[in-house]
Amino acid sequence: MQDRFIKCIAQLPKPLSDALIPLLNADFAGHIDAQQLGMLTAKSQLEESELLLALLPIAAALAKPPISEFHVGAIAKGKSGDIYMGANLELSGEALFHSVHAEQSAISHAWLSGETQILDVVVNFSPCGHCRQFMNEMVEGQKVLIHLPEQKAQPLAHYLPYAFGPSDLNITEPLLSKQQHELSLDSSDPMIIEALDHASLSYAPYSNSYAAVVLETKDGSTYCGRYAENAAFNPSMLPMQMALSTMTRHNREFTEINRAVLIESAKGKISLVGATMDALHAVAAVELEHIVIDPA
């Protein structure tokens, strides 16, 4: 079991902790598939909703909040039945807009894993306005059930009435819907090919600035992030923040980064290079490789 889970595992009911410990191996990064979830439900003898709330300390253990020292965990359940954990991330000494909220982390985890719809979001503290707006961007976002400790589950519409979202800006394919933007670049570099693939899957209906980041660590592992825009603009999630959140879930240190690539479309109305470089230089002494491409 990873060291970061030692304290929180003691907070769980023993039947659940006994069943969960084998899953918390060196490769665990917050994903529990539907079959594993069923096993945990059976062995813990908890209702699924109770189980997901009980698992929040595990999600919160994924947090990296050097500024607030306030650990928030979130769990997103996808339409597939799998669950995806996320946690808040802050960059030490940097502006607060670089932060990743737990709900963003969990949802981006699900998105990167191929989920096309989130049915439930479980979180240990009430979602802030930023996160409510971010969730509203998703497919049928107003119907997503929000689960909080000691409270009745309510749809997002309860927490965000009179919402402003993609449909108000005539967007018919919201966040998590299957999209494929035609971007091409002649390269045999596996890292650049990976970044290109993720940029083609990014969500940027307001600026058309399709973009992705891939980070490589010294052992050759790669961690990616895609751009996810929002109708209210500010809750947009930058690809670098998503990639750093992915690294954190995988229990990797930012000092292990030895290469970073940003790919973005030349046709976009904005560029993410400045914000991406700021975040990268806050965590690693690595120069950003910035590639701008024309749509196919």
- What residues are labeled active site? 103
Residue 46 CA to residue 186 CA, distance in Å, equals 52
Residue 229 CA to residue 176 CA, distance in Å, equals 11
- The angle subtended at Cα 122 by Cα 112 and Cα 36, nearest 5°, is 65
Sequence letter at residue 169: L
Is residue 224 annotated as involved in ligand binding?
no
Residue 156 CA to residue 196 CA, distance in Å, equals 33
Is residue 88 annotated as involved in ligand binding?
yes
The arrangement of strands across the sheet holding 257-265 comes to 222-226, 211-217, 257-265, 288-293
Is residue 115 annotated as involved in ligand binding?
no
Other beta carbons within 10 Å of 105: 32
Is residue 23 annotated as involved in ligand binding?
no
The arrangement of strands across the sheet holding 83-87 comes to 31-32, 83-87, 73-78, 118-123, 145-147, 154-155
CB 1 within 8 Å of CB 18: no
Is residue 131 annotated as involved in ligand binding?
yes
Task: Specify binding-site residues for Zn(2+).
Answer: 101, 128, 131
Task: Specify binding-site residues for substrate.
Answer: 88-90
Task: Specify binding-site residues.
Answer: 88-90, 101, 128, 131
